[in-house]
Amino acid sequence: MSDTLNLNGRLNREFEHFENHYAQEAAQGIDPLSDFDRHRYTNPPANTIYPREFYYHLLNPLRGKDVLEIACGNGIDASICGYNGANVHAYDITNQSIQMTRKRAEANGVSDRVNLQVCGGFDQAFSGQKFDHVIGYAALHHIPMDGLSQMVYDRLKPGGVAVFAEPVINSKLLDAVRQRIPFYHVQPTEDEVPLNDGDITEFAKPFDRIVRREFQVISRIWPFFPNNWPLAVSLHWLDYHLLKLPFMRRFASVVVFGLYRDR
């Protein structure tokens, strides 16, 4: 009983936070994807310096694929996938998120390829359907993960891949520094918990193989300089070279990984 109450409490707090967050974001207006973003996420290379580009590298090609998105948020990835020819099935716990995703899909001319559902659990989302891809960008650390990886595996078609990008903490020293000098581009919720390598390894167990890359050591600060694109590029390039050193990977703040169901 206590576990159920704790889970319901967590879901309620997440709902209240994101219902308010996306209402505020939607009030600022919803713009279509820029030509720059349409281009950069269509066929990004494996050696890209950006986590979201690597996310789409693992998903490429998307045309004609059936995609299930966990916690679609503000709808950016649903529209990118739709633009690249995927049939998107996206869900989120909040009405505001779904409304925003719908409006963004309309603004990008892909509403015919974006199907939406309000629900709180993966097992409830588009029940009975199987997918070529299951995706989530900064989603897993917001939701209960017990038993989730097997459910994701079961919803994939043979040959399918589940792709996630997640905040991580693998260094106790770095975590201690962050606790004492917190700086957030987006304020974290009360219940979110960044993953670590052990969490990712455990989550990957049902799958046949995993492909992963680490990102953002120094470049973690770039969102605080949103109008300085040369600085953002320089910081990401610096991280690209730092993360070639194996001992530096534990200091990354983001991991992008693809989990494959080969048969």
Domain ranges of the chain: 2-260
Q: How do residues 94-149 score in pLDDT, each as one tens digit?
A: 999 999 999 999 999 999 999 999 998 899 999 999 999 999 999 999 988 899 99
Q: Is the pTM of this model over 0.95?
A: no
Q: What is the pLDDT of residue 12?
A: 83
Q: How far apart are the first and last CA of the chain?
A: 38
Distance, in Å, from the CA atom of 33 to the CA atom of 114, rounded to the nearest integer, reads: 15
Alpha-carbon radius of gyration of the chain: 18
Distance, in Å, from the CA atom of 80 to the CA atom of 97, rounded to the nearest integer, reads: 16
Q: What is the pLDDT of residue 190?
A: 77
Q: What is the pLDDT of residue 4?
A: 58
- Which residue did the predictor score with more confidence, 17 or 1? 17
Distance, in Å, from the CA atom of 147 to the CA atom of 26, rounded to the nearest integer, reads: 33
Residue 210, SS3 per DSSP: strand
- Fold annotation for 2-260: Rossmann fold (3.40.50)
The band of 53, judged by pLDDT with boundaries at 50, 70 and 90, is very high
Tokens of 50: 């950006």
**Mean pLDDT across 164-193:** 74
